[in-house]
């Protein structure tokens, strides 16, 4: 695996890497043993491999993508094949099929389709693949896994040291005129019962495994991949609609499996995914896709002009403090979190027309409190000074799943 870098050498190195690829050990692993397996295979410090994965993960998730591929493509040290090979029926793997499917689904967002990875993501992947290629090219001969040998059932053999030939103990010697093997000379004494050898147990014919589960999971992967690729061009392909398609494909697989005695492995996936789909349809995530913001956000505007018409986030905490506003004028704003907490503080003397609601969660709104399914309050609260005029705030604070808190400060 040394010499000039040509197309033939690259192909040879890649084939040799796949044939002698690392195995994920049980000892020393932190997550799935990918880094530890690479370190053992090429006899390097596992800390170096872990640091490399972390560094590549900072390249818009390139390290996460490579790690997931290693998890799926590298077998454990006591397994026959890798998880992804076991998924298509190539052999046995101790990784559960539901976990393998989830890992396959996680590969798609890790590629950067869901998040804008750009050049950094592509560069990180290329650097990772190039590093593994060079590592195998230089150290591929070290610690190669032993070839798999097949143990055959044979009779005990007696070796003739003089002639260098092998004779089985069941083969009669050439000088025996009756052709009787020595084991036949041990005849039972007269009057003793003849002990019969126990009959071998009947061989159970292994039931043929139905291909329904594998075919259905393959169709699910195609649906998810198609939704990820076509999602930016079709507004209908939302995550909720994609989940519905996945549950529908699995339901069709169970229907076919009911007639072909297969598809039992789908039950453990359909039940939780169906529960998630039902819960998602109960929660109205209206406006959830309008914001590109993720994480926490806080703001304390000092003037009415500084107040935004809408504050929103996909997931996180929104903290809006309006206590620094002047004592006159009218402010209208909406604060929304798809999943998370909405926290608004209004001045003590401001008149507030407020609507607080949560699809699922809790609401604490200017002294009123409720929780559970769709808690909501809609009312007008006068300022503590009870004087006409002054600052008026029109506030709509809501969340899809989480908590809404509106207080005076």
pLDDT at 164: 42
In a domain, 233, yes or no: yes
Q: Over the chain, what is the mean pLDDT?
A: 77
User: 327 and 235: one domain?
Assistant: no
Q: Are residues 230 and 133 in the same domain?
A: no
Q: How confident is the model at residue 401, as a pLDDT?
A: 83
Q: Is residue 134 assigned to a domain?
A: yes
Question: Look-up: residue for tokens 């969660």?
Answer: 361
Nearest to 94 by CA among 143, 39, 24, 36: 24
Tell me: the pLDDT tens digits for 248-274? 888 888 778 777 777 777 777 777 777
166-170, 329-333, 380-384: the lowest-pLDDT one:
166-170
Is the residue at 147 inside a domain? no
Residue 135, C-beta contacts closer than 8 angstroms, at least 6 positions apart: 38, 42, 44
Q: What token pair was written down for 246?
A: 């996945």
Report whether pLDDT(148) > 50. no
| Same domain as 113, residue 38 | yes
378 in the same domain as 256: no
Domain shared by 225 and 315, yes or no: no
Burial of 78 (0-12, 13-18, 19+ CB in 10 A): exposed
In a domain, 171, yes or no: no
Number of domain units in the chain: 3
113, 139, 165 - which closes a domain: 139
Instruction: Quickly state the pLDDT bin for 119 (edges 50, 70, 90).
Output: low
Out of 139, 160, 187, pick the residue that ends a domain. 139
- The three state secondary structure string of 28-55 is CCCCCCHHHHHHHHHCCCHHHHHHHHHH
Q: Are residues 29 and 85 in the same domain?
A: yes
295, 393: one domain: yes
The predicted pLDDT at position 249 comes to: 86
Please check whether residues 40 and 104 belong to one and the same domain: yes
In a domain, 195, yes or no: no
- Domain range for 58: 7-139
Q: What is the pLDDT of residue 403?
A: 93
Give 180-220 pLDDT, tens digit per residue. Answer: 555 555 555 565 565 566 666 666 555 566 688 888 888 88
50 phi and psi angles, rounded to 5 deg: -65, -40
Per-residue pLDDT of 286-331, as tens digits, reads 444 445 566 788 999 999 999 999 998 887 889 999 999 998 899 9
123 in the same domain as 33: yes
pTM of the complete model? 0.42
How far, CA to CA in Å, does 344 sit from each of 11, 104, 143, 177, 392? 61, 41, 61, 107, 15
Q: Which of 143-152, 247-256, 266-275, 352-361 has the highest mean pLDDT?
A: 352-361
At a CB cut-off of 8 Å and minimum separation 6, what does 231 contact?
113, 237, 238, 242
Tens of pLDDT along 63-95? Answer: 888 888 889 899 988 888 898 888 888 888 888
pLDDT band at 146 (very low <50, low <70, confident <90, very high): low
Question: How does pLDDT run across 10-62, given as a tens digit for each residue?
Answer: 778 888 888 888 999 988 888 888 999 998 888 888 888 888 888 777 777 77
139, 162, 183 - which closes a domain: 139
pLDDT value of residue 288: 45
**Does 254 share its domain with 349?**
no
Query: How far apart are alpha carbons 67 and 54 in whole angstroms?
Result: 10
């Amino acid at each position: 695996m040394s010499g000039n870098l040509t197309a033939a050498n690259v192909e040879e190195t890649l084939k040799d890497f796949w044939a002698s690829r690392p195995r994920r050990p049980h000892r020393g692993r932190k997550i799935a043993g990918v880094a530890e397996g690479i370190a053992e295979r090429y006899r390097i410090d596992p800390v170096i491999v872990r640091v490399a994965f972390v560094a590549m993960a900072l390249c818009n998730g390139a390290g996460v993508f490579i790690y997931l591929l290693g998890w799926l493509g590298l077998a454990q040290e006591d397994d026959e094949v890798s998880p992804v090979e076991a998924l298509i029926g190539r052999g046995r793997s101790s990784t559960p099929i539901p976990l393998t499917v989830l890992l396959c689904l996680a590969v798609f967002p890790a590629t950067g389709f869901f998040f804008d990875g750009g050049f950094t993501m592509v560069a990180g992947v290329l650097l990772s693949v190039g590093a593994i290629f060079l590592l195998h090219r230089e150290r591929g001969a070290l610690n190669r896994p032993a070839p798999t040998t097949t143990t055959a059932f044979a009779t005990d053999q007696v070796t003739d040291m003089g002639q260098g030939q092998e004779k089985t103990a069941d083969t009669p010697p050439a000088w025996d005129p009756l052709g009787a093997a020595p084991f036949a000379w041990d005849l039972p004494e007269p009057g003793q019962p003849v002990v019969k050898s126990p009959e071998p147990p009947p061989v159970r014919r292994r039931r043929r495994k139905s291909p329904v589960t594998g075919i259905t999971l393959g169709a699910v992967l195609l649906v998810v991949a198609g939704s990820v690729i076509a999602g930016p061009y079709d507004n209908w392909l939302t995550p909720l609609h994609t989940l519905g398609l996945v549950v529908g494909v699995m339901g069709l697989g169970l229907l076919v499996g009911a007639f072909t005695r297969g598809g039992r492995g789908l039950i453990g996936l359909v039940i939780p995914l169906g529960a998630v789909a039902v819960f998602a349809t109960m929660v109205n995530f209206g406006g959830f896709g309008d914001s590109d913001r993720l994480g926490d956000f806080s703001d304390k505007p000092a003037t009415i002009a500084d107040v935004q018409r809408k504050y929103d986030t996909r997931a996180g905490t929104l903290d809006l403090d309006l206590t620094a506003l002047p004592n006159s004028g009218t402010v209208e704003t909406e604060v929304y979190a798809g999943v998370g907490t909405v926290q608004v503080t209004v001045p003590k003397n401001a008149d507030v027309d407020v609507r607080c609601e949560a699809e699922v969660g809790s609401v604490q709104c200017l002294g009123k409190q409720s929780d559970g399914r769709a808690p909501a309050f809609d009312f007008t609260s006068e300022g503590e000074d009870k004087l006409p005029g002054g600052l008026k705030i029109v506030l709509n604070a809501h969340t899809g799943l989480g908590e809404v808190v509106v207080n005076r400060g």
